[in-house]
Amino acid sequence: MILKSKALKIVSIAEEKKVVEPVILDVRKISTFCDFFVIVTGTSQMHIRSIADAIEEEMKKEGVRCNHREGDYASRWVVLDYASVVVHIFDEEMRSFYDLEHLWADASRLSKKAKILNKRKE
């Protein structure tokens, strides 16, 4: 799966679960450990669990397995590590506290409508 399309697919799955403010940050030029961050907000612990489970289940169907899952549902922040794409699922308070969009302000924001038609690896 092309890297950008992986991030877009994850956002699409999350949006089906009614996440708040999904963001894709392209960190390829400023990070050595991944290419994209997907950041979304859930409205409750149950919602965060539902989002994380849906992403893992649907990506597995695409043949893409999560390398590592960090955080429990009581922590109000779950991280799914897909190597090139790291997914952060926060509740509103934790997202505001960690403010990854500000911390990684030099990253480009990727539009959900980004074209993923080219077949080359990005």
Provide the terminal-to-terminal Cα distance of the chain, rounded to the nearest Å.
10
The structure's pTM equals 0.87
Torsional class of 76: left (φ above 0), alpha (ψ -120 to 50), beta (otherwise): left
89 φ/ψ angles, rounded to the nearest 5 degrees: -115, 110
pLDDT at 111: 64
- The pLDDT tens digits of the residues spanning 38-97 come to 999 999 999 999 999 999 999 999 999 999 999 876 779 999 999 999 999 999 999 999
CATH topology of domain 3-109: Beta Polymerase; domain 2 (3.30.460)
Q: For residue 117, what pLDDT band results from cuts at 50, 70 and 90?
A: very low
Q: Considering the chain, what percentage of its residues have pLDDT values greater than 70?
A: 87
Q: Do residues 3 and 122 make contact, with C-beta atoms less than 8 angstroms apart?
A: yes
